[in-house]
Amino acid sequence: MTTLVLVAGAWHGAWCWERVPPALERAGHRVVAVPLTGVGERAHQLSSQTTLATHVEDVVAVVRAEECRGAVLVGHSYGGLVITGAADRLGEEVGRLAYVDAVVPTPGQSWADGNPPETRAARRAAIAEHGHLPPPPVSAYGLTGDDAAWVERRQTPQPGGTYDDPLHFDADRWAARPRTYVDCTAPAVATIEPSRRLVRTQPGWEVVELATGHEPMVSASDALAAVLLEVAGR
């Protein structure tokens, strides 16, 4: 049995993984989805004081409280930053990393650093005005119909302090870990493009492509679960 610790991207909560765990659990694996401070199930804790470091600590605390030794850390989108920081903190307490259409940071990089200049300007302006980042329209994720409505009504603002908080970690220790990248190609979200390029030029990556949009846990949950089953079985 392997434990998979699931970390959502921005504006989302643990709820977004709802369709993925059944297949993993039927195969005998354990799944723990982490709610992050100020968003999703913990939206009542929204504060500009919440940072990327806060979310890293959320994951570290859950892994230790749930005794998830050897777990696969799975991060979606912004959650790629979070699992990178958590893995650095946890060291040998956890195992493989899986990035689902996610940000792959370099040491000292923030979420903002990977965005195009126009995106950074718009998001910083939104944070200055609201103290947080309002959710984008779900059409940006390639969702339509009932799937779009399901995500639309559950998204919550993202704490503004998560955007420019830099992530410091040991690059060599991180590079020694086994890592899988799930690249969602239809449509491909522009803000993830730097990470897509990075994982194809940096050694040590397994890259799996899924012909779906940015929310494969919603739009292609069976295909994503199959990839995670392969990862968990190693």
Specify the CATH number for the domain of residue 198. Answer: 3.40.50.1820
pLDDT at 234: 75
CA neighbours closer than 13 Å in the CB half-sphere of residue 109: 19
Domain residue limits at 214 = 3-232
How far is it, in rounded angstroms, from Cα 4 to Cα 226? 13
| Residue 139 annotated among the catalytic residues of the structure | no
* Global pTM exceeds 0.75: yes
Active-site position among 47, 77, 219, 221: 77
pLDDT at 146: 97
Provide φ and ψ at 95, rounded to 5°: -115, -115
Task: Please tell me the total count of domains within the chain.
Answer: 1
109: left (phi over 0), alpha (psi -120 to 50) or beta: beta
Which residue has 């990839």 as its token pair? 227
Per-10-residue mean pLDDT, the chain, length 234? 97 98 97 98 97 98 96 98 98 96 97 94 96 94 95 98 98 95 95 95 96 97 98 89
